[in-house]
Amino acid sequence: MIAFGEIIHVSLRSLRANKMRSALTTLGIVIGVAAVVAMFAIGTGANRKVAAQMASMGSNLLVVRSGSVTSGGARMGGGATPSLSFADAEAIVKECPAVGKAAPTESRTVQIIYGNLNWSTRAEGTTPPMLDIRNWTIGSGRSFNNSEVRSAAKVCLLGQTVADNLFGDEDPLGKVVRVKKVPMVVVGVLGKKGTNAMGQDQDDTLIIPITTAQKRIFGSRHQGKVSSVLVQAADSNSIPAAIEQIEVLLTERHRIRTDEDKDFSVMNLAELMEAAAESTKTLSFLLAAVASISLLVGGIGIMNIMLVSVTERTREIGIRMAVGARTPDILLQFLAEAVILSVLGGLTGIALGALISVLISHFAGWTTVISPLSIGLAFGFSALVGIFFGYYPASKAAALDPIEALRYE
Protein backbone atom coordinates (compact mmCIF):
# COMPACT_ATOMS: atom_id res chain seq x y z
CA MET A 1 0.00 0.00 0.00
CA ILE A 2 1.29 3.44 -0.76
CA ALA A 3 2.06 5.98 1.96
CA PHE A 4 -0.72 8.06 3.46
CA GLY A 5 0.95 11.31 2.50
CA GLU A 6 1.10 10.18 -1.14
CA ILE A 7 -2.61 9.33 -1.11
CA ILE A 8 -3.45 12.82 0.19
CA HIS A 9 -1.18 14.31 -2.45
CA VAL A 10 -2.83 12.32 -5.27
CA SER A 11 -6.32 13.21 -3.98
CA LEU A 12 -5.49 16.89 -3.70
CA ARG A 13 -4.20 16.86 -7.27
CA SER A 14 -7.44 15.40 -8.61
CA LEU A 15 -9.51 17.89 -6.62
CA ARG A 16 -7.42 20.77 -7.95
CA ALA A 17 -7.98 19.54 -11.49
CA ASN A 18 -11.71 20.13 -10.92
CA LYS A 19 -11.71 23.29 -8.80
CA MET A 20 -15.20 24.53 -9.62
CA ARG A 21 -16.85 21.18 -9.09
CA SER A 22 -14.95 20.60 -5.85
CA ALA A 23 -16.07 24.00 -4.54
CA LEU A 24 -19.71 23.39 -5.45
CA THR A 25 -19.62 19.93 -3.90
CA THR A 26 -18.54 21.33 -0.54
CA LEU A 27 -21.36 23.89 -0.52
CA GLY A 28 -23.82 21.61 1.24
CA ILE A 29 -21.34 20.88 4.01
CA VAL A 30 -20.40 24.56 4.26
CA ILE A 31 -24.03 25.53 4.84
CA GLY A 32 -24.65 22.65 7.25
CA VAL A 33 -21.59 23.36 9.37
CA ALA A 34 -22.17 27.12 9.32
CA ALA A 35 -25.70 26.43 10.59
CA VAL A 36 -24.36 24.19 13.36
CA VAL A 37 -21.76 26.72 14.49
CA ALA A 38 -24.12 29.72 14.35
CA MET A 39 -26.87 27.73 16.10
CA PHE A 40 -24.51 26.67 18.87
CA ALA A 41 -23.27 30.24 19.26
CA ILE A 42 -26.81 31.56 19.61
CA GLY A 43 -27.89 28.71 21.88
CA THR A 44 -24.89 29.02 24.17
CA GLY A 45 -25.28 32.79 24.23
CA ALA A 46 -28.97 32.47 25.19
CA ASN A 47 -28.13 29.97 27.93
CA ARG A 48 -25.43 32.22 29.35
CA LYS A 49 -27.81 35.15 29.28
CA VAL A 50 -30.51 33.19 31.12
CA ALA A 51 -27.95 32.04 33.67
CA ALA A 52 -26.78 35.62 34.18
CA GLN A 53 -30.36 36.80 34.58
CA MET A 54 -31.09 34.06 37.07
CA ALA A 55 -28.08 35.13 39.05
CA SER A 56 -29.11 38.80 38.95
CA MET A 57 -32.62 37.94 40.04
CA GLY A 58 -31.27 36.09 43.06
CA SER A 59 -30.56 32.44 43.54
CA ASN A 60 -32.89 29.90 45.21
CA LEU A 61 -35.61 32.51 45.19
CA LEU A 62 -39.15 31.89 46.47
CA VAL A 63 -41.94 34.42 46.60
CA VAL A 64 -44.75 34.17 49.13
CA ARG A 65 -47.77 36.08 47.87
CA SER A 66 -51.10 36.93 49.45
CA GLY A 67 -53.77 34.73 48.06
CA SER A 68 -57.52 35.13 47.87
CA VAL A 69 -59.27 36.21 51.03
CA THR A 70 -62.90 35.50 51.71
CA SER A 71 -64.60 38.52 53.16
CA GLY A 72 -68.28 38.06 54.07
CA GLY A 73 -68.75 35.29 51.53
CA ALA A 74 -67.13 37.28 48.67
CA ARG A 75 -63.79 35.90 47.54
CA MET A 76 -61.33 38.62 46.73
CA GLY A 77 -58.72 38.16 44.02
CA GLY A 78 -55.19 37.08 44.75
CA GLY A 79 -53.21 39.78 46.44
CA ALA A 80 -56.24 42.06 46.70
CA THR A 81 -55.81 42.37 50.42
CA PRO A 82 -52.31 41.96 51.79
CA SER A 83 -52.41 39.09 54.23
CA LEU A 84 -48.73 38.75 55.09
CA SER A 85 -47.45 40.60 58.12
CA PHE A 86 -43.91 41.70 58.89
CA ALA A 87 -44.09 39.19 61.72
CA ASP A 88 -44.85 36.45 59.18
CA ALA A 89 -41.61 37.33 57.38
CA GLU A 90 -39.65 37.19 60.62
CA ALA A 91 -41.29 33.93 61.61
CA ILE A 92 -40.42 32.35 58.26
CA VAL A 93 -36.73 33.03 58.87
CA LYS A 94 -36.84 31.91 62.48
CA GLU A 95 -38.94 28.81 62.22
CA CYS A 96 -38.22 27.33 58.79
CA PRO A 97 -34.75 25.71 58.87
CA ALA A 98 -34.68 25.40 55.07
CA VAL A 99 -35.01 29.17 54.68
CA GLY A 100 -31.96 31.39 54.62
CA LYS A 101 -33.41 34.89 54.44
CA ALA A 102 -36.77 36.58 54.02
CA ALA A 103 -37.86 40.15 53.35
CA PRO A 104 -41.34 41.66 53.05
CA THR A 105 -41.70 43.88 50.04
CA GLU A 106 -44.17 46.30 48.56
CA SER A 107 -43.68 48.51 45.55
CA ARG A 108 -45.39 51.42 43.80
CA THR A 109 -44.53 53.74 41.00
CA VAL A 110 -43.45 57.13 42.35
CA GLN A 111 -42.07 60.41 41.13
CA ILE A 112 -38.66 61.47 42.48
CA ILE A 113 -37.56 65.06 42.37
CA TYR A 114 -34.06 66.45 42.74
CA GLY A 115 -33.54 70.12 42.12
CA ASN A 116 -35.29 70.92 38.84
CA LEU A 117 -35.12 67.31 37.58
CA ASN A 118 -37.68 64.63 38.15
CA TRP A 119 -37.93 60.94 37.28
CA SER A 120 -40.64 58.31 37.54
CA THR A 121 -39.54 54.97 38.91
CA ARG A 122 -40.61 51.95 40.88
CA ALA A 123 -40.07 52.40 44.61
CA GLU A 124 -39.64 49.20 46.58
CA GLY A 125 -40.20 49.19 50.32
CA THR A 126 -38.37 46.34 51.99
CA THR A 127 -35.93 45.30 54.70
CA PRO A 128 -32.12 44.91 54.41
CA PRO A 129 -32.03 41.14 53.71
CA MET A 130 -33.75 41.82 50.38
CA LEU A 131 -30.50 43.16 48.97
CA ASP A 132 -28.81 39.82 49.57
CA ILE A 133 -31.78 37.80 48.37
CA ARG A 134 -31.88 39.67 45.03
CA ASN A 135 -28.11 39.77 44.68
CA TRP A 136 -27.95 43.56 44.85
CA THR A 137 -24.55 45.07 45.48
CA ILE A 138 -23.87 48.50 46.93
CA GLY A 139 -22.04 50.57 44.30
CA SER A 140 -21.28 53.44 46.68
CA GLY A 141 -22.40 54.54 50.13
CA ARG A 142 -24.21 52.07 52.36
CA SER A 143 -27.44 50.17 52.76
CA PHE A 144 -30.04 51.17 55.35
CA ASN A 145 -30.09 49.17 58.58
CA ASN A 146 -32.71 47.52 60.78
CA SER A 147 -32.98 50.42 63.18
CA GLU A 148 -33.71 52.73 60.25
CA VAL A 149 -36.46 50.30 59.26
CA ARG A 150 -37.90 50.35 62.79
CA SER A 151 -37.85 54.14 62.94
CA ALA A 152 -39.19 54.58 59.39
CA ALA A 153 -36.16 56.74 58.62
CA LYS A 154 -36.27 58.94 55.53
CA VAL A 155 -33.34 57.25 53.75
CA CYS A 156 -33.16 55.68 50.31
CA LEU A 157 -30.97 53.71 47.91
CA LEU A 158 -30.93 54.67 44.22
CA GLY A 159 -30.63 52.34 41.26
CA GLN A 160 -27.99 53.31 38.70
CA THR A 161 -30.54 54.45 36.13
CA VAL A 162 -32.27 56.73 38.64
CA ALA A 163 -28.94 58.11 39.87
CA ASP A 164 -27.81 58.83 36.30
CA ASN A 165 -31.05 60.55 35.39
CA LEU A 166 -31.32 62.75 38.45
CA PHE A 167 -27.70 63.46 39.23
CA GLY A 168 -25.72 62.94 36.04
CA ASP A 169 -22.08 63.39 37.01
CA GLU A 170 -22.93 64.75 40.46
CA ASP A 171 -22.36 62.48 43.49
CA PRO A 172 -25.80 61.58 44.89
CA LEU A 173 -24.54 60.45 48.31
CA GLY A 174 -25.92 62.59 51.16
CA LYS A 175 -28.16 64.59 48.78
CA VAL A 176 -31.83 65.01 49.54
CA VAL A 177 -34.42 63.92 47.00
CA ARG A 178 -38.15 64.36 47.36
CA VAL A 179 -40.46 61.42 46.91
CA LYS A 180 -44.15 62.40 47.02
CA LYS A 181 -43.10 65.61 48.83
CA VAL A 182 -41.21 63.61 51.46
CA PRO A 183 -37.56 64.61 51.60
CA MET A 184 -35.26 61.58 51.73
CA VAL A 185 -31.49 61.30 52.12
CA VAL A 186 -29.64 59.21 49.56
CA VAL A 187 -27.42 56.90 51.61
CA GLY A 188 -26.27 54.60 48.83
CA VAL A 189 -26.27 53.83 45.13
CA LEU A 190 -26.83 50.25 43.97
CA GLY A 191 -24.41 48.35 41.72
CA LYS A 192 -25.46 47.92 38.11
CA LYS A 193 -27.51 44.83 37.22
CA GLY A 194 -28.84 45.35 33.68
CA THR A 195 -32.11 44.04 32.29
CA ASN A 196 -34.04 41.09 33.64
CA ALA A 197 -35.51 38.14 31.73
CA MET A 198 -38.52 40.23 30.74
CA GLY A 199 -36.29 42.95 29.35
CA GLN A 200 -37.03 45.44 32.14
CA ASP A 201 -34.28 47.72 33.38
CA GLN A 202 -33.62 46.45 36.92
CA ASP A 203 -31.55 49.52 37.70
CA ASP A 204 -34.56 51.79 37.32
CA THR A 205 -35.49 51.45 40.99
CA LEU A 206 -35.57 53.14 44.37
CA ILE A 207 -35.20 51.06 47.53
CA ILE A 208 -36.51 52.36 50.85
CA PRO A 209 -37.34 50.85 54.24
CA ILE A 210 -40.73 49.10 54.16
CA THR A 211 -41.97 51.12 57.14
CA THR A 212 -41.06 54.43 55.53
CA ALA A 213 -42.77 53.32 52.37
CA GLN A 214 -46.03 52.31 54.04
CA LYS A 215 -46.26 55.15 56.58
CA ARG A 216 -44.88 58.13 54.70
CA ILE A 217 -45.04 57.49 50.97
CA PHE A 218 -47.47 54.82 49.74
CA GLY A 219 -50.07 55.62 52.40
CA SER A 220 -50.96 51.92 52.56
CA ARG A 221 -54.35 51.04 54.03
CA HIS A 222 -53.04 47.88 55.63
CA GLN A 223 -50.12 49.06 57.72
CA GLY A 224 -47.74 46.27 58.68
CA LYS A 225 -49.06 43.91 56.04
CA VAL A 226 -47.63 43.23 52.59
CA SER A 227 -48.74 41.28 49.58
CA SER A 228 -45.44 39.55 49.06
CA VAL A 229 -42.43 38.27 50.98
CA LEU A 230 -39.21 37.38 49.17
CA VAL A 231 -37.60 34.23 50.54
CA GLN A 232 -34.21 32.72 49.84
CA ALA A 233 -33.88 29.01 50.54
CA ALA A 234 -30.74 27.96 52.40
CA ASP A 235 -29.44 26.28 49.25
CA SER A 236 -30.78 24.92 45.97
CA ASN A 237 -31.46 21.46 47.45
CA SER A 238 -33.62 22.83 50.24
CA ILE A 239 -36.08 24.67 47.95
CA PRO A 240 -38.82 21.98 48.17
CA ALA A 241 -38.35 21.71 51.95
CA ALA A 242 -38.53 25.50 52.29
CA ILE A 243 -41.79 25.60 50.33
CA GLU A 244 -43.36 22.95 52.54
CA GLN A 245 -42.15 24.50 55.80
CA ILE A 246 -43.46 27.94 54.79
CA GLU A 247 -46.84 26.47 53.87
CA VAL A 248 -47.15 24.63 57.18
CA LEU A 249 -46.01 27.66 59.18
CA LEU A 250 -48.30 30.18 57.49
CA THR A 251 -51.31 27.84 57.55
CA GLU A 252 -50.82 27.62 61.28
CA ARG A 253 -50.12 31.31 61.84
CA HIS A 254 -53.12 32.40 59.74
CA ARG A 255 -55.32 29.79 61.45
CA ILE A 256 -56.57 28.33 58.20
CA ARG A 257 -58.81 25.29 58.59
CA THR A 258 -58.26 22.39 56.25
CA ASP A 259 -61.51 23.10 54.36
CA GLU A 260 -60.58 26.72 53.77
CA ASP A 261 -58.64 28.21 50.89
CA LYS A 262 -55.14 29.30 51.81
CA ASP A 263 -54.74 33.10 51.82
CA PHE A 264 -51.21 32.85 50.43
CA SER A 265 -49.23 30.96 47.83
CA VAL A 266 -45.54 30.10 47.50
CA MET A 267 -43.94 30.46 44.07
CA ASN A 268 -40.67 28.97 43.03
CA LEU A 269 -39.09 31.57 40.73
CA ALA A 270 -36.02 29.45 40.04
CA GLU A 271 -38.35 26.84 38.58
CA LEU A 272 -39.93 29.43 36.29
CA MET A 273 -36.52 30.50 35.05
CA GLU A 274 -35.48 26.91 34.55
CA ALA A 275 -38.59 26.38 32.45
CA ALA A 276 -37.52 29.36 30.34
CA ALA A 277 -34.04 27.87 30.01
CA GLU A 278 -35.63 24.55 29.11
CA SER A 279 -37.50 26.20 26.23
CA THR A 280 -34.26 27.66 24.84
CA LYS A 281 -32.84 24.15 25.07
CA THR A 282 -35.78 22.82 23.07
CA LEU A 283 -35.13 25.52 20.51
CA SER A 284 -31.47 24.54 20.22
CA PHE A 285 -32.42 20.89 19.79
CA LEU A 286 -34.76 21.90 17.00
CA LEU A 287 -31.98 23.91 15.35
CA ALA A 288 -29.58 21.00 15.84
CA ALA A 289 -32.06 18.77 14.01
CA VAL A 290 -32.24 21.25 11.13
CA ALA A 291 -28.45 21.49 11.06
CA SER A 292 -27.99 17.73 11.02
CA ILE A 293 -30.45 17.44 8.16
CA SER A 294 -28.43 19.98 6.16
CA LEU A 295 -25.24 18.07 6.99
CA LEU A 296 -26.95 14.91 5.79
CA VAL A 297 -28.01 16.61 2.57
CA GLY A 298 -24.46 17.94 2.18
CA GLY A 299 -23.12 14.43 2.63
CA ILE A 300 -25.49 13.05 0.04
CA GLY A 301 -24.29 15.82 -2.29
CA ILE A 302 -20.71 14.65 -1.82
CA MET A 303 -21.70 11.04 -2.43
CA ASN A 304 -23.55 12.06 -5.58
CA ILE A 305 -20.62 13.97 -7.05
CA MET A 306 -18.16 11.26 -6.03
CA LEU A 307 -20.28 8.66 -7.82
CA VAL A 308 -20.32 10.81 -10.95
CA SER A 309 -16.60 11.33 -10.58
CA VAL A 310 -15.92 7.59 -10.28
CA THR A 311 -17.90 6.89 -13.44
CA GLU A 312 -16.23 9.74 -15.29
CA ARG A 313 -12.78 8.61 -14.22
CA THR A 314 -13.30 4.90 -14.87
CA ARG A 315 -10.49 4.96 -17.40
CA GLU A 316 -8.16 6.72 -14.98
CA ILE A 317 -8.91 4.01 -12.42
CA GLY A 318 -8.18 1.38 -15.07
CA ILE A 319 -4.82 2.99 -15.89
CA ARG A 320 -3.88 3.19 -12.22
CA MET A 321 -4.79 -0.47 -11.74
CA ALA A 322 -2.86 -1.52 -14.85
CA VAL A 323 0.34 0.10 -13.58
CA GLY A 324 0.00 -1.51 -10.17
CA ALA A 325 -2.61 0.20 -7.96
CA ARG A 326 -4.21 -2.25 -5.55
CA THR A 327 -7.79 -2.18 -4.29
CA PRO A 328 -6.89 -0.31 -1.06
CA ASP A 329 -4.86 2.25 -3.05
CA ILE A 330 -7.88 3.17 -5.15
CA LEU A 331 -10.29 2.97 -2.20
CA LEU A 332 -8.18 5.29 -0.07
CA GLN A 333 -7.60 7.74 -2.90
CA PHE A 334 -11.32 8.27 -3.47
CA LEU A 335 -12.14 8.15 0.24
CA ALA A 336 -9.47 10.78 0.87
CA GLU A 337 -10.99 12.96 -1.85
CA ALA A 338 -14.40 12.79 -0.17
CA VAL A 339 -12.96 13.48 3.29
CA ILE A 340 -10.82 16.37 2.03
CA LEU A 341 -13.91 17.86 0.38
CA SER A 342 -16.02 17.55 3.51
CA VAL A 343 -13.28 18.77 5.83
CA LEU A 344 -12.58 21.79 3.62
CA GLY A 345 -16.33 22.39 3.59
CA GLY A 346 -16.32 22.03 7.36
CA LEU A 347 -13.53 24.58 7.85
CA THR A 348 -15.20 27.06 5.50
CA GLY A 349 -18.48 26.43 7.32
CA ILE A 350 -16.87 27.10 10.71
CA ALA A 351 -15.51 30.42 9.44
CA LEU A 352 -18.86 31.32 7.88
CA GLY A 353 -20.79 30.28 11.01
CA ALA A 354 -18.50 32.37 13.20
CA LEU A 355 -19.01 35.34 10.88
CA ILE A 356 -22.79 34.85 10.99
CA SER A 357 -22.83 34.77 14.79
CA VAL A 358 -20.69 37.88 15.01
CA LEU A 359 -23.06 39.64 12.59
CA ILE A 360 -26.10 38.45 14.56
CA SER A 361 -24.74 39.70 17.86
CA HIS A 362 -23.80 42.97 16.18
CA PHE A 363 -27.05 43.67 14.38
CA ALA A 364 -29.70 41.82 16.40
CA GLY A 365 -27.99 42.46 19.73
CA TRP A 366 -28.22 38.81 20.81
CA THR A 367 -25.53 37.37 22.97
CA THR A 368 -23.60 34.74 20.94
CA VAL A 369 -20.79 32.59 22.25
CA ILE A 370 -18.60 30.59 19.83
CA SER A 371 -17.45 27.67 21.93
CA PRO A 372 -14.46 25.45 21.04
CA LEU A 373 -16.79 22.50 21.62
CA SER A 374 -19.09 23.57 18.77
CA ILE A 375 -16.12 24.06 16.46
CA GLY A 376 -14.71 20.65 17.35
CA LEU A 377 -18.13 19.08 16.93
CA ALA A 378 -18.68 20.70 13.54
CA PHE A 379 -15.24 19.67 12.34
CA GLY A 380 -15.63 16.10 13.58
CA PHE A 381 -19.07 15.77 12.05
CA SER A 382 -17.93 17.01 8.65
CA ALA A 383 -15.05 14.51 8.64
CA LEU A 384 -17.48 11.74 9.60
CA VAL A 385 -19.88 12.79 6.85
CA GLY A 386 -16.98 12.56 4.37
CA ILE A 387 -16.02 9.06 5.50
CA PHE A 388 -19.60 7.84 5.65
CA PHE A 389 -20.74 9.19 2.29
CA GLY A 390 -17.38 8.78 0.56
CA TYR A 391 -17.06 5.10 1.35
CA TYR A 392 -19.66 3.81 -1.07
CA PRO A 393 -18.32 5.63 -4.19
CA ALA A 394 -14.75 4.75 -3.19
CA SER A 395 -15.56 1.06 -2.79
CA LYS A 396 -17.31 1.17 -6.16
CA ALA A 397 -14.13 2.59 -7.71
CA ALA A 398 -11.94 -0.01 -6.01
CA ALA A 399 -14.18 -2.86 -7.15
CA LEU A 400 -13.81 -2.00 -10.85
CA ASP A 401 -12.35 -4.64 -13.13
CA PRO A 402 -9.15 -3.28 -14.69
CA ILE A 403 -9.94 -4.73 -18.15
CA GLU A 404 -13.44 -3.21 -18.22
CA ALA A 405 -12.15 0.06 -16.82
CA LEU A 406 -9.41 0.35 -19.48
CA ARG A 407 -11.94 -0.32 -22.22
CA TYR A 408 -14.36 2.34 -20.86
CA GLU A 409 -14.94 5.23 -23.26
Other C-beta atoms within 10 Å of 142: how many?
A: 11
What is the H or E stretch that residue 197 is in?
Answer: none
Give strand pairing partners of 190. Answer: 138
Exactly one of 113, 307, 319, 351 binds other proteins (CB under 8 A); which one?
Answer: 319
- Phi, then psi, of 182 in degrees rounded to 5: -95, 120
- Tell me the window of 10-18, 22-30, 140-148, 235-243 that interacts with other proteins (CB under 8 A): 10-18
Residue 11 interacts with other proteins (CB under 8 A)?
no
Name the residue nearer to other proteins (CB basis): 24 or 322: 322
Cα–Cα distances in angstroms (integers) from residue 347 to residues 272, 359, 379, in the given order: 39, 18, 7
Residue 394 interacts with other proteins (CB under 8 A)?
no
- Tell me the window of 115-123, 124-132, 220-228, 314-322 that interacts with other proteins (CB under 8 A): 314-322
- Tell me the window of 56-64, 163-171, 270-278, 398-406 that interacts with other proteins (CB under 8 A): 398-406
Exactly one of 95, 141, 315, 390 binds other proteins (CB under 8 A); which one?
Answer: 315
* Per-residue burial over 251-288, b = 16 or more CB atoms within 10 Å of its CB, e = otherwise: bebbeeeeeeeebbebebbbeebeeebeebeeebeebb
Q: Count residues binding other proteins (CB under 8 A).
A: 23
Residue 324 interacts with other proteins (CB under 8 A)?
yes
Name the residue nearer to other proteins (CB basis): 73 or 324: 324
Residue 403 interacts with other proteins (CB under 8 A)?
yes
**Residues 325-364: x/- map of binding to other proteins (CB under 8 A)?**
xxxxx-----------------------------------
Give strand pairing partners of 109. Answer: 122
Residue 308 interacts with other proteins (CB under 8 A)?
no
Name the residue nearer to other proteins (CB basis): 169 or 409: 409
Name the residue nearer to other proteins (CB basis): 2 or 256: 2
What is the H or E stretch that residue 339 is in?
Answer: helix 327-363
Exactly one of 30, 133, 320, 334 binds other proteins (CB under 8 A); which one?
Answer: 320
Going by C-beta distance under 8 Å and a sequence separation of 6 or more, which residues neighbour residue 115? Answer: none
Other C-beta atoms within 10 Å of 305: how many?
A: 22
182-190 and 155-158 strand pairing: parallel
Residue 20 interacts with other proteins (CB under 8 A)?
no
State how far the Cα of 199 lies from the Cα of 56, in Å rounded to an integer: 13
The nearest distance, CB 327 to other proteins, in angstroms, is 6
The nearest distance, CB 318 to other proteins, in angstroms, is 8
Residue 4 interacts with other proteins (CB under 8 A)?
no
Going by C-beta distance under 8 Å and a sequence separation of 6 or more, which residues neighbour residue 62? Answer: 230, 231, 232, 233, 239, 242, 243, 246, 266, 267, 268, 269
Name the residue nearer to other proteins (CB basis): 271 or 312: 312
- Tell me the window of 5-13, 22-30, 34-42, 154-162 that interacts with other proteins (CB under 8 A): 5-13
User: What value does the CA radius of gyration of the chain take, rounded to a whole number of Å?
Assistant: 34
Q: What is the largest CA-CA distance in the chain?
A: 104
From the DSSP assignment, how many helices (H) and strands (E) are in the chain?
13, 14
- Tell me the window of 89-97, 275-283, 288-296, 322-330 that interacts with other proteins (CB under 8 A): 322-330
Contacts with other proteins by CB under 8 A lie at 2-3, 6, 10, 13, 17, 315-316, 318-329, 402-403, 406
